[in-house]
C-alpha cells in the first residue's frame, strides 16, 4: 500500500498496526479462496481490483468527495433508502462487517451471546480498523432485531453521529405508515446534514441510479439459473457484497460487463462447474464482506451456489422502485412501497419469505437449500425451523446450519455439507 494511503488512514484515526494485520489476513483469505478458483469470468478482474483496493482507492474517493463538500452516510441495513441519500447529493456505504475483530474489547460492551455480525461492527469500531465507518458523516442504525436496536444504544457512546431509524415489525397499514413517517424523518435529517433540498428531479435521479444497480444484479441472477453455472457462488456473493461499497454507476457498468461475458459462456455451454453439479440456494442471515466461509465450504464440497436469499443478495435487491412519480411525495410513496416488501425475519408473521425461497428454488433450479443462521440470531434461527419443515413437505431438501465467523467449525460444517451434497446427487 502506498504511503499516501497510510497517511489517509492515519488522518481517519485508524490504528495502523491493527489495520495492517486486518489487511494481511484479508489479502491472504482472498488469495486462498477467490484467486484459487478456476474458470472465473474475466470481468471478475474488476472485483478483484476493488477488493485489493477496498480500503485504498475507494476510501480515497470518499475522502475526495468529502473534501469537495459531499457527505458520506454509513448504514447497517438494507432498509436505509439509498435513493434518498443520493438525492441529497450524499453517498451511502454499507458498514456491516463479516469478520471478528477486537473480540475481547467487544465482549466488555456486549454479551458474549450476541450475533457475530453485531459483534463485528463493534470490533471494527473499537479496533479502529474500518475506514468506511471513520469516513461517515452520519451513521444510521435501525430498530430491527433486539440485538441491533439495543447495541445501537451502546454504539451511540462510541460515535458522535449516530442516527437511529425506527422500523415496523408488522406488515400492516400502521406498519407502513410508520415506515413512511421514518423515511420522511430520514429525508429531513439527510437534507439537514447536506444542506441540499431534495427535489423531484434529484429524487428521480437517485431512484434511477439505484434501480440500475439492482437491475444489473437481477440480470446476473437470471444468468446464474443456467446449468452449467456460468459463475461460482463465491463470485456471485462477492458482487452482491461490493454492491454496498462501490460507486453506483461504475458498479452497474461492471456487473453488466460480466453479464455480457456470461451470456457468451452460456451460448458456448461453458461453466465454472460441470453440468449437473448439485445446485444449492443459500437462505438466511446476511453474509457481509469478508464472510466467505459458507460458499467456500459448499463449493469445495462439489456443489455450486446458484442464489442467495439474503440481504446481501436477492432480499436486499429484489424489486425496483417505481420512478414514474412526478412529485417528491409520489416518489417517496413509491420508495415506501418498495422497501415495505423486504421480507426480513424481524417481521411477524413473515410468510413472504417462505414464498420467495420457494420461488427462488424453482427459478434457480436449485436441488436443495442451505439455511444459513448466525449463532444467537433469534429472528433467522427461529424462522429456520418452519422454513425447513415447509421445504421438506414440498420435497425440497434443506440443511440448517448455525455458525459464526470463526474458522473452528469448518471441519464439522464441511462434513455436514458433504453429506448433504451426496444426498442431492
Residue 342 binds to ligand BJ8 (criterion: CB under 6 A): yes
Options 28-36, 114-122, 190-198, 359-367: segment touching ligand BJ8 (CB under 6 A) = 114-122
319 burial class (0-12, 13-18, 19+ CB within 10 angstroms)? middle
Question: Which residue number, 346 or 361, has a Cβ lying nearer to ligand BJ8?
Answer: 346
Question: Which residue number, 60 or 149, has a Cβ lying nearer to ligand BJ8?
Answer: 149
* Contact criterion met (CB below 8 Å) for 338 and 78: no
Residue 110 binds to ligand BJ8 (criterion: CB under 6 A): no
Residue 115 binds to ligand BJ8 (criterion: CB under 6 A): yes
Residue 374 binds to ligand BJ8 (criterion: CB under 6 A): yes
* Contact criterion met (CB below 8 Å) for 268 and 228: no
Q: Residues touching ligand BJ8: how many (CB under 6 A)?
A: 20
Question: Which residue number, 30 or 244, has a Cβ lying nearer to ligand BJ8?
Answer: 244
| Contacts to ligand BJ8 from residues 262-301, by CB under 6 A | 285-286
- Which residues fall within 8 angstroms of residue 45, CB to CB, at 6 or more apart? none
Residue 118 binds to ligand BJ8 (criterion: CB under 6 A): yes
Dihedral, CA atoms, 285, 372, 358, 142, nearest 10 degrees? -10
Binding ligand BJ8 by CB under 6 A: which of 130, 145, 234, 289? Answer: 145
Options 128-136, 190-198, 340-348, 382-390: segment touching ligand BJ8 (CB under 6 A) = 340-348
Measured CA to CA, the distance from residue 184 to residue 339 in angstroms comes to 14
Binding ligand BJ8 by CB under 6 A: which of 44, 346, 366, 396? Answer: 346
Residue 344 binds to ligand BJ8 (criterion: CB under 6 A): yes
The sheet that has 398-403: what strands, in order across it?
Answer: 304-309, 279-284, 368-374, 398-403
CB of 240 to ligand BJ8, least distance (A): 12
Taken in order 42, 48, 53, 55, the sign of the CA dihedral is positive
Which has the closest alpha carbon to 47: 225, 307, 257?
257
Please calculate the CA angle 160-161-165 and round it to the nearest 5 degrees: 130
Cell numbers standing for residue 307: 442464489
**Residues forming the site for ligand BJ8 (CB under 6 A):** 77-79, 115, 117-118, 144-145, 147-148, 285-286, 311, 342, 344, 346, 374, 377, 379-380
Amino acid at each position: 500500500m502506498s504511503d499516501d494511503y497510510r497517511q489517509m488512514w492515519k488522518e481517519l484515526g485508524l490504528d495502523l498496526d491493527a489495520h495492517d494485520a486486518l489487511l494481511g489476513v484479508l489479502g491472504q483469505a482472498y488469495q486462498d479462496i477467490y484467486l484459487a478458483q478456476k474458470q472465473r469470468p474475466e470481468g471478475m478482474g474488476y472485483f478483484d481490483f476493488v477488493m485489493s483496493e477496498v480500503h485504498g482507492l475507494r476510501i480515497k474517493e470518499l475522502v475526495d468527495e468529502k473534501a469537495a463538500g459531499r457527505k458520506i452516510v454509513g448504514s447497517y441495513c438494507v432498509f436505509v433508502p439509498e435513493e434518498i441519500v443520493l438525492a441529497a447529493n450524499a453517498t451511502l456505504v454499507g458498514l456491516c462487517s463479516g469478520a471478528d475483530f477486537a473480540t475481547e474489547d467487544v465482549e466488555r460492551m456486549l454479551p458474549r451471546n450476541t450475533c457475530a455480525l453485531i459483534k463485528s461492527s463493534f470490533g471494527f469500531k473499537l479496533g479502529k480498523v474500518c475506514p468506511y465507518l471513520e469516513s461517515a458523516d452520519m451513521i444510521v442504525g435501525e430498530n430491527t432485531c433486539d440485538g441491533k436496536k439495543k447495541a445501537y444504544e451502546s454504539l451511540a457512546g462510541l460515535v458522535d453521529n449516530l442516527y437511529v431509524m425506527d422500523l415496523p415489525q408488522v406488515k400492516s397499514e400502521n406498519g407502513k405508515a410508520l415506515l413512511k413517517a421514518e423515511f420522511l424523518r430520514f429525508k429531513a435529517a439527510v437534507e439537514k446534514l447536506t444542506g441540499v433540498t431534495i427535489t423531484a428531479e434529484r429524487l428521480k435521479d437517485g431512484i434511477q441510479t439505484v434501480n440500475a444497480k439492482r437491475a444489473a444484479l437481477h440480470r446476473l441472477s437470471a444468468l446464474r439459473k443456467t446449468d452449467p453455472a456460468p459463475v461460482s457462488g463465491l463470485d456471485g456473493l462477492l458482487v452482491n457484497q461490493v454492491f454496498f461499497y462501490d460507486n453506483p454507476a461504475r458498479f452497474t457498468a461492471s456487473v453488466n460487463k460480466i453479464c455480457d461475458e456470461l451470456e457468451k459462456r452460456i451460448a458456448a455451454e461453458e461453466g465454472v462447474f460441470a453440468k449437473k453439479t448439485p445446485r444449492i440456494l443459500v437462505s438466511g442471515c446476511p453474509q457481509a464482506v469478508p464472510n466467505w466461509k459458507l460458499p467456500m465450504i459448499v463449493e469445495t464440497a462439489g456443489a455450486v451456489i446458484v442464489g442467495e436469499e439474503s440481504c446481501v443478495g436477492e432480499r436486499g435487491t429484489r424489486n425496483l422502485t417505481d420512478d414514474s412519480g412526478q412529485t417528491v411525495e409520489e416518489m417517496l410513496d413509491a420508495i415506501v412501497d418498495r422497501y415495505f416488501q423486504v421480507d426480513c425475519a424481524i417481521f411477524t408473521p413473515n410468510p413472504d419469505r417462505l414464498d420467495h425461497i420457494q420461488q427462488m428454488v424453482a427459478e434457480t433450479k436449485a436441488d436443495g437449500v442451505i439455511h444459513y443462521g448466525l449463532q444467537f440470531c433469534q429472528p433467522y434461527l427461529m424462522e429456520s425451523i418452519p422454513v425447513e419443515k415447509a421445504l421438506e413437505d414440498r420435497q425440497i431438501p434443506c440443511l440448517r446450519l448455525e455458525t459464526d465467523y470463526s474458522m473452528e467449525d469448518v471441519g464439522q460444517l464441511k462434513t455436514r455439507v458433504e453429506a448433504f451434497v451426496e444426498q442431492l446427487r
